[in-house]
Amino acid sequence: MAANSLTFDFDRIISRTGTASEKWDGRQAYFGRADVTPLWVADMDFAAPPAVTEALIARAQHPVYGYTATDDAVYTSLIVWLAQQYGWRVERDWIVLTPGVVPSIYAAVQAMTRPDQGVIVQPPVYAPFFSAVTTNGRALLHNPLRLEQGRYRMDLAQLEHCAQQGAKLLLLCSPHNPVGRVWQRDEFDALLDIARRYRLTIFSDEIHADLVYPEYRHIPLATLTREGDAVITAVAPSKTFNIPGLGLSALIIPDAGIRQAMIAAFARLHVHNSNPFSLIAFTAAYRHGGAWRDALMLYLRDTRDAVMQYLSEHIPGIRAIAAEGTYLLWLDCRELGMSDAQLQAFFVQQCRIGMNPGPIFGQGGSGFMRLNLASPRAVVMEALARVAAALSVPG
């Protein structure tokens, strides 16, 4: 990463109140008070890449916002990005545009399984993984991650046990939200081996793929597959370039049969996947956002390191799991000796910080909190100072 993080001003504080921001304007509804520093929902408090804003303004200046077709530029921008970033040669026919990764997870559960069949999730994990299974009447099979010496790992033996119970689909989070793991080649090889033996389809949610710290490397699972492997990959510019409100994402599905099944799942709902602004932002981000992303990851790396050092020096009762990817930090608060309800009340009422409580991420989440690092560093560090003060620890 050669980009200088000072090229873009990530220290700039931008007021988002009054913009119908879920993160900011939703504080009263979610936390019961509107004065918390919101470090929860996974969007960033940074301005999007200038090229995206400029492209949106240029499109907005045309005063007609009618039904909009998807042009070649949308597909080409993604194909070129994936080739440049990962050496992944994707064919246009493999790409299915969708209105978002979460709707795609729901569609995959419907398309790849029948009612009462098993779907494997790996908690603690992003909450919609669970609801996508249960609301569609499928059997939820838990393959909990194992925390070993401060790093999470897959329990492959237990995963095979889940597969033996007749599971048809595995929902993989890569990089993993909330624990921040960037899975490695040996882990994927073992995962694919199990999937082959038991004919598992893998839905690989790679929405955080571009948000990996410089010392790590994301490997798209599909780049390791062989003929006959069943892998659906979900990608999007939304997290990478801070445009989640625009909603457009993509599935990459080399297998024609699986691809048609996914297209049919969306067709049954007659869901349109885009609008004039989402298409423009998608293309501009992938075409021109690379330097901004590189600078962002340097800034986030420094924020991550500053937070971890501050916790170690001033709040020893809270230990952060070192994030390898994502702008989310998984905080182990168990040494504080509080229940989950007490933890939430402590951070909201005494510290005026809004974070995601660990239990919403399922098994293994109790005693943890998820902290969103993607705000100006001064905001994050000031919030931590309030925690130190509340715990009567010199800050």
Sorted by where each begins, the domain ranges of the chain are: 5-50+290-390, 64-288
The Cα 393–Cα 391 span in angstroms is 5
Q: Quote the pLDDT of residue 3.
A: 43
Q: Treating both helix axes as pointing N-terminal to C-terminal, what angle do 101-112 and 256-267 enclose, rounded to 10 degrees?
A: 110
The Cα 8–Cα 11 span in angstroms is 9
CATH code assigned to 64-288:
3.40.640.10
Written as six digits, the tokens of 350 are 């005494």
Q: Quote the pLDDT of residue 279.
A: 97
Q: Where are the alpha helices (DSSP H) in 315-395?
A: 340-345, 377-390
The residue among 361, 349, 337, 330 whose CA lies nearest residue 387 is: 349
pTM: 0.96
Q: Virtual CA dihedral for 127, 371, 124, 203, nearest 10 degrees?
A: 60
The structure tokens 């873009």 sit at 8
Q: Quote the pLDDT of residue 271.
A: 82
> Is residue 320 within 8 Å of 88, Cβ to Cβ?
no
List CB contacts of 29: < 8 A, sequence separation 6 or more.
Answer: none
Q: Quote the pLDDT of residue 98.
A: 96
Instruction: Divide the 395 residues of the chain into consecutive groups of 10 and give the mean pLDDT of each group.
Output: 63 97 97 97 97 98 94 97 98 97 97 96 98 97 97 98 96 98 98 98 98 97 97 98 96 98 93 88 98 97 98 97 98 98 98 98 98 98 98 64
Looking at CATH, the fold of the domain delimited by 5-50+290-390 is given as Aspartate Aminotransferase, domain 1 (3.90.1150)
> Is residue 371 within 8 Å of 39, Cβ to Cβ?
yes
List CB contacts of 115: < 8 A, sequence separation 6 or more.
Answer: 136, 137, 138
> Is residue 10 within 8 Å of 48, Cβ to Cβ?
no
The structure tokens 């080409």 sit at 76
